[in-house]
Structure 1
Amino acid sequence: MKLFHNVMLHVSAASVVVMTAWAVLFYWAIIAEVNDEVDDSLEDYSENLIIRYLNGEVMPSLNNGSNNQFYMYDVSEEYAKTYPQISYRDEMVYIDEKLEYEPARILMTIFKTDSGYKELVVYTPTIDKIDLQQSILGWIIALYVGIILILLLLNMWIFRRNMKPLYALLSWFNNYKIGSGNTPLSTKQNITEFKNLYQAVTMSVDRNEKLYEQQKLFIGNASHEMQTPLAICLNRLEMLMEDENLTEKQMEEIAKTHQTLENITRMNKSLLLLCKIENGQYADMKDVSVNSMIHQYTDVFSEVYAYKNITVSLSETSSLQMRINESLAVMLVSNLLKNAYLHNSDNGKIEVVVKDKGFIVANTGEDALDSSKIFTRFYQGSKKEGSTGLGLALVYTICKANNINIVYEFKDGMHVFEVNV
């Protein structure tokens, strides 16, 4: 999950919880205030009626133009002492004018007269109060949604504005390639943390560039210094093999030593090549025709391994172009084809399929290989003469360096290597 999405998720969740609690408390506070105002009105009306009754004045008619209504009746002393003097409740009452029941707020008051106890019931229809409650609820919801949206938009704007240096750093890293003369990273930042981060990144990149240059120099020197003495040793052995005074036993030992040195030479070249690829020293890219390379190297290897009598089947459903360094493309195609010939059985077969988005090289085999180890260095299912165990590792490194996908599977008695560009 992106940092922006993670922060906005937590901010949104916190805002929703806080605003929901506020909305509920605010709503109930408003409703309590409305009920309190209604109760005060009923209480004043009730006191006025009691005073008029006790003073012997004429009681107002029920149709007095007010929403407040009342009725009064005698109660016993036991009743008066049992129930509270003043009580409030909500219930449905019958409205004579409308000839129907409607919700009302009721105040019940018990008071003492010269003739005994009376209970005064005062009520007011709560239709207006319900409308007010619904209106308040609607405005609270609208205010709630509006504040939430404003808070989220404000947080998004503040976050993106303050995190611009981080996004700039990530963009610079995405375009950064070691040893490619990248644009320097500016450390002019107002925020202390970002300034320190930029300085740390700049120092790390400078160290990596220096180490990269040292490694390239070491690889070049190692390649030169190791290949020269190996070539001299091979030449001396070849000259020694021309000596007619050598016995057959000595010739065999010299030939074995010569073969060992040749294997070491090939292995050294492959290891140095792997290091160069991993260090990105093959940066020149161009469009390369895979079809022509496959034709070229199938012809070459067919002659070299003619003694194995291998049948080659080539199917081309499309013309495949790869954007890659040409030398690496040659290594990729030639190593896959050489592997198919070298690790094939006599009278076996090779199937090559070129598609629009990749190609497949398959060869006959007896048992499946370990797919988790097949692309590791020096892994060999069965040791073959002339194999260094680095061919498929080299293929995998080339694919990884160029964002090419390669997979292996054993299917219908065939080792299948599929390359998808």
Structure 2
Amino acid sequence: MKLFHNVMLHVSVASVLIMTAWAVFFYWAIIDEVNDEVDDSLEDYSESLIISYLNGEEMPSLNNGSNNQFYMYDVSKEYAETYPLMSYRDEMVYIDEKLEYEPARILMTIFKTDSGYKELVVYTPTIDKLDLQRSILGWIIALYVGILLILLLLNMWIFRRNMKPLYVLLSWFNNYKIGSGYTPLANKSNITEFKNLYEAVTISVERNEKLYEQQKLFIGNASHEMQTPLAICLNRLEMLMDDENLSEKQMEEIAKTHQTLENITRMNKSLLLLCKIENGQYADVKDVSINSIIGQYVETFNDIYASKNIRVNVSETSSLHMQMNESLAVMLVSNLLKNAYLHNIENGVIEINIAENGFSVSNSGQAALDPSKIFTRFYQGSKKEGSTGLGLALVYTICKANNIKIMYQFKDKMHEFVVSQ
């Protein structure tokens, strides 16, 4: 999840909770205020009726042009002592004039007279109050949605504006490639944290560039300094092997030493090649035809491994082209094919399928290899003469450097390597 989405999610949840709590509290506060106004009106009306009754004045008629209505009746002393002297409630009452039930706010008051206790029930229809409540609720919802949207949009604008230096830094990082030079990172932010981040990134990039140059120089020197003495040793051994005075035992030992040095030479070249690929020293990218490379190396390996009597089936359903360094493309194909020939069985089979988005190389086998280790350096399911254990590691490194997917699977007694763009 992006930082922007994560922040906005938390801000949205917090805003919704706070605004909801405010809306509920505000609504009930307004409704309580409305009820207080109605209750005060009923209380004043009830008080004037009680005073008029106690003073012996004539009680107003029910049809007095007012919304307030009342009725009065005698109650027992026990009733008066049991119930509160004044209470409010909302209920449906029958209105004689309209011949229907309507919601009303009711005040019940118990008071004492010379003859005993009486209960006065005063009520007023609350149709207007319900309309007012609905209106208040509607406006609160509209206000709630409006304020919430404004807050979210404001937070989005503030966040994007304040996090702009971070997005500039990320964009700069996406375009930066080690060893290809870089444009200094321009810092136009006054925020201390971003200033420190920009300085740290600049220092880190400069350090990486220096280390990269040192490593590239080391690889070049190592390649030259190690290959030369190895070649000299091999030449000397070959000269010794031409000596007719050597015994058969000595010849065998020299031949073994010669083979060991050749393996070391190949391993040294492969390790140096791995380092160069990982350091991005193969930057020359072009359109490469995989079909032609496979066709060329199938013929070559058929001649080299003719003694194993391997049957090769090549299926081309499409012309496959990849955007990569041509030397790396040759290494990718040749190492996969060499692996299929070298680790095949006598009279085995190699299946090569070329499609529009990739190709696969399968060879006969007896048991599955460990998929988690097969692309690691020096991993070999079974030791084969002439194998350095770096071929598949090279393949994986080339694929990774060019954003190409590679997958291994074992099915129907076939080791299959699938390369896809």
The TM-score with structure 2 as length reference comes to 0.96
1:333 partner letter: V
Q: Distance in 2 between matches of 1:280 and 1:102?
A: 84
Aligned to 1:301: 301
**After TM superposition, where is structure 1 displaced by more than 6 Å over at least 4 residues in a row?**
none
| CA displacement, residues 278-323 of structure 1 (integer Å, 9 cap, x when unaligned) | 1111111001000000000001111111122111111100000000
The aligned residue for residue 139 of structure 2 is: 139
The separation in 1 between residues aligned to 2:364 and 2:82, in whole angstroms, is: 104
Corresponding position of 2:206: 206
Shift of 1:134: 1.6
Residue 257 (str. 1) matches residue 242 (str. 2)? no
How many angstroms does 1:85 deviate by? 3.0
- Does 2:297 correspond to 1:288? no
1:150 CA drift (Å): 1.2
- The verdict on how the C-alpha distance between 1:30 and 1:236 changes in structure 2, with shifts beyond 3 A counting, is same
Q: In the TM superposition, what whole-angstrom CA distance separates every residue of 1:320-343 from its partner, at most 9, and x where no partner exists?
A: 000010000000001111111111
Which residue identity does 1:174 align to in structure 2?
Answer: N
* Distance in 2, Cα, partners of 1:180 & 1:302: 41
Code of the residue aligned with 1:338 in structure 2: it is: K
Amino acid of the structure 2 residue aligned with 1:265: T
CA distance in 2, matches of 1:378, 1:342: 15
Which segment drifts farther, 206-215 or 138-147?
A: 138-147
Q: Structure 1 residue 79: deviation in Å?
A: 4.1
Taking every aligned residue pair, what percent have the same amino acid on both sides? 85
Distance 1:228 1:87, change over 3 A: same
The residue type equivalent to 1:184 in the other structure is P
Pairs within 5 Å for 1:145-224: 145-224=145-224
In the alignment, which residue of structure 1 is the partner of 2:235?
A: 235
Find the residue that maps to 1:344 and give its secondary structure: coil
d(CA) in 2 for partners of 1:48 and 1:418?
A: 96
Matched to 2:154, the amino acid is L
Residue of structure 2 equivalent to 1:395: 395
CA distance in 2, matches of 1:215, 1:292: 35
Q: How far 1:87 sits from its partner (Å)?
A: 2.3
The whole-number CA distance in structure 1 between the counterparts of 2:79 and 2:308 is: 118
Query: Whole-Å Cα distance in 1 between the matches of residues 343 and 325 of structure 2?
Result: 27
CA distance in 2, matches of 1:414, 1:291: 22
Count of residue pairs brought into register by the alignment: 421
* d(CA) in 2 for partners of 1:139, 1:396: 64
CA distance in 1, matches of 2:232, 2:246: 20
The aligned counterpart of 1:407 is 407
Task: Name 2:333's counterpart in structure 1.
Answer: 333
3-state SS, counterpart of residue 351 of structure 1: strand
Q: Structure 1, residues 334-372: CA drift from partner, whole Å, max 9, x if none?
A: 111111111112221211110111001111112221111
Distance 1:103 1:241, change over 3 A: same
Counterparts in 2 of 1:115 and 1:176: CA distance versus 1, 3 Å: same
- State the alpha-carbon separation in 2 of the partners of residues 80 and 355 from structure 1: 97
Q: Which residue does the alignment assign to 2:87?
A: 87
Are 1:349 and 2:345 counterparts?
Answer: no
Shift of residue 173, structure 1, vs aligned partner: 1.2
Amino acid at match of 2:206: D
Partner of 2:50: 50
The equivalent of 1:26 in structure 2 is: 26
Return the offset for 1:68: 0.6
Q: Deviations over 1:118-166 (max 9, x none)?
A: 3322110111112211221121122112111111111111111101111
Structure 2 residue aligned with 1:6 = 6
Task: Give the CA deviation at 1:77.
Answer: 4.5
Sort the Cα spacing of 1:417 and 1:117 in 2 relative to 1 into closer, same or farther, 3 A: closer
Q: What SS is found at the alignment partner of 1:385?
A: coil
C-alpha separation in 1, matches of 2:384 and 2:82: 109
Task: Provide the rounded CA distance (Å) in 2 between the counterparts of 1:238 and 1:420.
Answer: 44
Greater shift after overlay, 191-200 or 363-372? 363-372
RMSD over aligned Cα, in angstroms?
A: 1.5
Q: Sort the Cα spacing of 1:338 and 1:83 in 2 relative to 1 into closer, same or farther, 3 A.
A: closer
Does the residue aligned with 2:129 lie in a helix, a strand or coil? helix
More deviation, 65-74/401-410: 65-74
Aligned to 1:125: 125
Query: What SS is found at the alignment partner of 1:312?
Result: strand
Q: CA deviation at 1:116?
A: 4.3
CA distance in structure 1 between the aligned counterparts of 2:25 and 2:151, rounded to whole angstroms: 20
Alpha-carbon distance in 1 for matches of 2:387, 2:116: 121
* Gap change, CA 1:81 and 1:341, over 3 Å in 2: closer
Which amino acid counterpart does residue 159 of structure 2 have in structure 1? F
Structure 1 distance, partners of 2:78, 2:418, is 100
Whole-angstrom CA distance in 2 between matches of 1:173 and 1:290 = 32
Post-superposition offset of 1:2: 1.5
* Cα distance change of structure 1 residues 287 and 43 upon mapping to structure 2, 3 Å threshold: same
SS of the residue aligned with 1:397? helix
* d(CA) in 1 for partners of 2:68, 2:393: 94
- DSSP 3-state at the match of 1:16: helix
SS at match of 1:382: coil
C-alpha spacing 1:238/1:82, structure 2 compared with 1 (3 Å): closer
**Number of the residue aligned with 1:41:** 41
Counterpart residue type for residue 268 of structure 2: N
327-336 or 250-259: which moved more? 250-259
* Aligned twin of 1:276: 276
